Amino acid sequence: MKQLFLSVSDGSMSVVDTPAPTIKDNTVIVESLYSVVSAGTERSLASFGGKNLIQKAMERPDQVKKVTEKMSTDGILTTIESAFGRLKDPMPMGYTAVGRVTDVGRGVTDISVGDIVAEVGQAYHAEVNRVGKNLVVKVPDELEDKRQAAFSALGGIALEGIHQAEVMPGETVAVIGLGLLGHITARILYAYGCDIIGFDIADKTLPDTKLKAFINSNDDSAVDTTKALTRGRGVDKVIITAATDSNAPIELSQEIARDRGIICMIGVTQLNLDRRSFYERELTFKIARSYGPGRYDTSYEDDGVDYPIGYVRFTEGRNVEEFLRLLATKRLNISDLITHEMPFDEARKAYEMITTNPNHERYIGVLLRYIDNNNKWDSIIRQKKQNVTKNRNIEIGDRIGFGLIGAGNFARATMLPIMSSLRMYDFVGLATTGGVAAAQANEVFRFNYTTNDYRKLLSDDRIDLVGISTQHNTHAKFIIDALEAGKSVYCEKPLCLTLDELDRIEEVYQKSEGELFCGLNRRYAPLIQEIKRELKTDQIPAVYDYIVNAGYIPNDHWTQDEKRGGGRIIGEAIHFVDTILYLDGSDLVDLNVDFVENPAFPKKDNAIIRLKFSSGAIGTILYTSMGSKKYPKEQLRVFSNGTVYEMDNYVSMRKYGSVRKKNVNPRQDKGISNEYRAIADVLAGKQNNASIDDSFVSHRMLLKEL
């Protein structure tokens, strides 16, 4: 399928070929009919992409602050490489559309294949979208012009602003900004029995937007005119729909609102509030969060958990439902707001119009139209599976054929850039469940093909090594399937989330022709290897102290979910168990974990892990989410034979012994490049795979404690 992306580095648009998304629980697959190009949100994104680095930095000082903080802990070169890597990621465009359902997942009961639905949030400019069940609403049969349903996200935004402003029938409401969102808001307010006064810097009135009056907001008498229209009281409510860098809409709203009036912003402006105005008339200011309750809540949008109607009348989905009801009952009509309708293949022209507008066209609502083909994507999603064949032998000197399952942040930002720079790996196939990540990865790091069926990688004799970079609860299945197909496997940590899965992986690995590698890369870091070379743990035991300032991750992040991510200890702290296990080189005989127990920290991401080794050595790992971002993330201290090694965040190391020595690197090096070289050497027969046994040990010991 094809999908539209923005290049954040230069602002250019491109239509990308990417696998069609596959069905998941609590989702539907929707073949797009029309999607809306937002002249507000998407124009600002496109304009931002077209700015140079200095202009981007001036516009996003919050991001500049994060970069400077990262420089102080991770090193200048590492930070610069990371920042430029983020700019390479293409950004999916679009968020509101109408389409036809081609498949429904488990848990979806009110939508059927063939239904025409409005889709929001996850409705990109793409020929096919996978959308959470709470983000789609069936379009009523009574709505003849189905194109209007494509504007449902904008309708939801308008309705959330109206709800937040606590508008009541009969009130006078000011709408500041008469663009597309402003007209939709004004028309809904009129349907609800309100008087509307429209404000803008130019006359953008339309016959079907029934205003009590239009006032030019630059007019010196704008405030006096407003009061004259409201018996000297001012408007009851103000809804700001404008998109501008100016603070003028805020200043105007403060002057025209009545005593104890409510001002609600659903547009984007500067936000400098005058305390005097708010105090004297006890005004209330609110910002509506997009389409309504549920927005940005993963349990609502991704997992399909709805809010009870007795507690939340208008959720994100129910706002869309209300917008469609108004359209279907003809209380609302926005067909005249559609000024342009372009084929999806000409999407770049649409963005050219809303940004530079070389032909000076007048536009309001811009639609992208998609080819209506009922069976096209159904055949792609249910493509014929291929038989599994054995992996070919690798000869020394050959590049390694690499197939990747999953294309998350780590794969795009770290795995693929490093593999590409080593020139040891050929990117053959990329398998994902479809959507944004696959296109982002493939645009920067070209694979020979992409697919939504990972089994195609297992049957491709050009692929020697299968990489796994998916959510943690899927790792065991992919590892087992790939090993049984005779493939070698590189899996990002952890290997699995349960002891039963670990037993099965070990069993299959022993029988497989393929090798298995776990992404526990710290042991390959140059500073760790330097310490390893100097320790004599077979003669003198050591004491290890590893401090991990892991940082806060929200409780609803998937890594915190024990079913999907397993929690942060197995998900990340296993790195540090493996590092100390590697340094000591003896058997790990005991491991125990103590967690912070406090209602303020419900997740298990603050812990002390204690280790004991057959050499007599002991170690502790302090893993915490409570620290400051300005403090380094990882610090290791090793005490042995009158010497102290102090490693600071894989950037520098101090050695205290007969003399004091300090090493400082220009970039942070956590050993990933060396890890990928070692994998290549194992596959080429140059060395044995010594690390996997330690991976099994560290997983088993940790999983017993969790």
Instruction: Sheet with 90-92: list strands edge to edge.
Output: 13-17, 2-7, 90-92
Helix (H, G, I), strand (E, B) or coil at 181: helix
Q: Please write the tens of the pLDDT for every residue from 573-613.
A: 999 999 999 999 999 999 999 999 988 888 899 999 999 99
pLDDT for the residue numbered 66: 58
| pLDDT digit string, tens, across residues 9-18 | 677 888 888 8
Which pLDDT band holds residue 428 (cuts at 50, 70, 90)? very high
Residue 106 has pLDDT above 70, yes or no: yes
Model pLDDT, residue 663: 81
Mean pLDDT of 512-536: 96
At residue 12, the pLDDT reads 80
CB neighbour burial string for 537-571, b if at least 16 within 10 angstroms, e if fewer:
beeebbebbbbbbbeebeeeeebbbbebbbbbbbb
201-227 in b/e form (b: 16+ CB < 10 A) is beebeeeebebeeebebeeeebbebbb
Residues 674-695 have pLDDT tens digits of 999 999 999 999 999 989 999 9
Mean pLDDT across the stretch 103-120?
95
Helix (H) or strand (E) holding 594: strand 588-595
CA distance 604 to 479: 26
Confidence at 220, pLDDT banded by 50, 70, 90: very high
pLDDT at 270: 92
The yes-or-no verdict on residue 176 having pLDDT over 90 is: yes
H or E segment and range at residue 32: strand 27-37
Q: Is the pLDDT of residue 264 over 60?
A: yes
Burial class (CB in 10 A: 0-12, 13-18, 19+), 399: middle
- Distance set, CA 25 to CA 106, 334, 467 (Å): 5, 34, 25
> What is the pLDDT confidence band of residue 434, given thresholds at 50, 70 and 90?
confident
Peptide bond into 632 cis (omega under 30): no
Tokens of 143: 């709505």
DSSP state of 194: -
Task: Supply the DSSP string of 657-700, one letter for each residue.
Answer: SSSEEEEE-SS---SHHHHHHHHHHHHTTSS---HHHHHHHHHH
Q: Is the pTM of this model over 0.85?
A: no
Which of the four pLDDT bands, split at 50, 70 and 90, describes residue 635? very high
Asked if pLDDT for residue 538 goes beyond 70, the answer is: yes
Residue found under tokens 């001036």? 58
> Average pLDDT, stretch 617-646?
95
Residue 440: the pLDDT is 73
Q: Which of 576, 394, 418, 552 is nearest to 494 (CA)?
A: 576
Q: Which pLDDT belongs to residue 660?
A: 81
**700 pLDDT more than 60:** yes
**Which amino acid, 453?**
D
- One DSSP character per residue, 327-394 reads HHTTS---GGGEEEEEEGGGHHHHHHHHHT-TT----SEEEEE----TTHHHHHHTPPPPPP-PPPPP
Give the Cα separation of 247 and 452 in Å (integer): 47
pLDDT for res 385: 32
Distance CA 255, CA 253 (A): 5
Question: Which residue's entry shows tokens 């080429």?
Answer: 684
**pLDDT of 331 above 90:** yes
- For the chain, percent of residues with pLDDT exceeding 90: 73
pLDDT reported for residue 659: 74
Q: Is the pLDDT of residue 42 over 90?
A: no
pLDDT of the residue at 235 = 98
Q: How far apart, in whole angstroms, are the C-alpha atoms of residue 148 and residue 153? A: 11
- Quickly count: other Cβ atoms within 10 Å of residue 597's Cβ: 9
- What is the model's pLDDT at position 658? 73
Buried-exposed string 439-477: b where 16+ CB fall within 10 A, e elsewhere? bbbbbebebeebbbbbbbbbbbeebbbbbbbbebbbbbe
Flag whether pLDDT at 389 surpasses 80.
Answer: no
Task: List the single range of 225-229, 352-356, 648-652 with lowest mean pLDDT.
Answer: 352-356
Residue pair 569/596 in contact (Cβ under 8 Å)? The answer is no
Q: How far apart are CA 340 and CA 320, in angstroms?
A: 23
pLDDT at 409 over 90: no
20 backbone dihedrals φ, ψ, rounded to 5°: -65, 140
Q: How many CB atoms lie within 10 A of CB 105?
A: 18
